[in-house]
Amino acid sequence: MLESVAPESRVPLDEHLQGSVFYQENKTGQPVKGHFYIESYGCQMNFNDSEIVASVLAETGYQPTRDVDIADLILINTCSIREKAEDTVRKRLQTFQRQKATQPGLLVGVLGCMAERLKSKFLEEEKLVDLVVGPDAYRDLPRLIERADDGEKGLNVFLSREETYADINPLRLDQNGVTSFISIMRGCDNMCSFCVVPFTRGRERSRDPYSILAEATDLFQKGYREATLLGQNVDSYSWSHPDTGEQVNFAQLLAMVAEIHPDLRVRFSTSHPKDITNEVLETIARYENICKYIHLPVQSGSSRILDLMNRTYDAPWYRERIEAIRRIIPDCAVSSDIIAGFCTETEEDHQDTLEMMAFARYSMSYMFAYSERPGTLAARKYPDDIPEEVKKRRLGEIIQLQNQISLAHNQADIGKTFSVLIEGDSKRNDQEHKGRNTQNKMIVFPKTGSHGPGDYVRVKVTDATSATLRGEVVHDVEQ
């Protein structure tokens, strides 16, 4: 949920994007101190942060591994968006605690949002971990590991107003060599009442554009063909040169990255409806290699609920932004985040959400029942008064409608031909490739023998489900 993370941070944020990450070899020339293993949960920002952590550790001689049984250091990069995500992490920590009992010297650490929120619980009350490191303290990991090796607890959850890790080249982990992420800003100034991100990731600050361009150029030169620009709210990206006063906004940054090379596709996430400007939309329309896809979380279709959520826009404002997207970028796909059963939500409010979904015709959505997060404005001010069975029923209706809209959205693509960037083999059949079109839709198609990951091909869609398009290669494409 990369915007104001409560479903926003997924750029899309959610714990289904979980897994271990690893790199093939230690290329720093440092003597190997030991092996580290990382699991990441939550949004794409967390996965990008794990790559920053891997780079910091590799510089001090630690070797990444995919085998948790040989690890000397186990790290979990955590998510606090929903209670379910935290429960999953806690179960994993309990598993690693049992491993510690049979493996003397093993260190276990928690990184990210849960680290900041539950620091004392992890270290003192439950004694599950040796290290607790917040999102702005990853540079301090080597010192904290030394402290933990000496039997002390390693703790740093300081939230910085300046840290962007702009000078750290992330160590690409478990990647396909084709697509990758670039963090352009950190933190969030939007105080959505349901969201923990401003408290776990701190205030908003933008990374300087030249370090972003250098990272994107390096990725392209290494063979990557798609970069996703990440931020809790990318549209509020704003950088000023400390000496010259030169200013760069998000629309300008998008153009700068797109101009690196026409073969470098550019995506971004997440956008906040109050901030996405016509200048951004016109920039997307102007560059063929800026993908025609926008993740624009609505959260609710009810203006009353949006006010309680402190989203700072109402339903008519959101509809106008959808209309602007359709007018300026007619072929653009829009996805969303939707919360069912927020505090005091009535059946009328729920119907407003269903009507908004039908109006916006989202290509897909991340849909959740409201989960109260401790410390948020909603938890302090509003009763979580919607019964769980009502939340589940409303969520089921939202999911059912989205599946219908997604199926119709995809069926409308049958017979159309798209430029597809091959990302790798299909999960279900190694005789098929998979890749996405500009609208972020996954397309599966038979291999032709002459194409591979990183190639652009023209694919004609022949069939569709609510989640996936199927097609066949028609000819090569030059972008």
Least confident of 170-184, 266-280, 417-431: 170-184
pLDDT at residue 26, rounded to an integer = 44
Q: Who contacts 93 (Cβ-Cβ below 8 Å, separation ≥6)?
A: 76, 108, 110, 122, 128, 129
Whole-angstrom distance, CA of residue 378 vs CA of residue 111:
25
Mean pLDDT of 434-460: 95
Mean pLDDT computed over 422-444: 96
Q: 222: buried, middle or exposed (CB in 10 Å: 19+, 13-18, 0-12)?
A: exposed
Rounded Cα distance, 335 and 138, in Å:
32
The residues, any chain, with a CB within 8 Å of residue 389's CB and separated by 6 or more, are none
Residue with more model confidence, 93 or 444: 444
Any idea which residue has 């997060």 for tokens?
A: 373
Confidence at 18, pLDDT banded by 50, 70, 90: very low
- List pLDDT tens digits, range 285-336: 999 999 999 999 999 999 999 999 999 999 999 999 999 999 999 999 999 9
CA atoms within 13 Å, Cβ hemisphere of 2: 31
Q: What is the mean pLDDT of the chain?
A: 89
Report all structural domains of the chain as residue ranges with CATH numbers, in order of start: 8-156 (3.40.50.12160), 179-396 (3.80.30.20), 417-476 (2.40.50.140)
* Model pLDDT, residue 7: 32
pLDDT of 37-92, one tens digit each?
999 888 888 889 999 999 999 999 998 998 999 999 999 998 877 777 778 888 89
pLDDT digits (tens, 9 = 90+) for 173-188: 766 899 999 999 999 9
Cα distances (angstroms) measured from residue 443 to each of 245, 335, 423 = 45, 17, 10
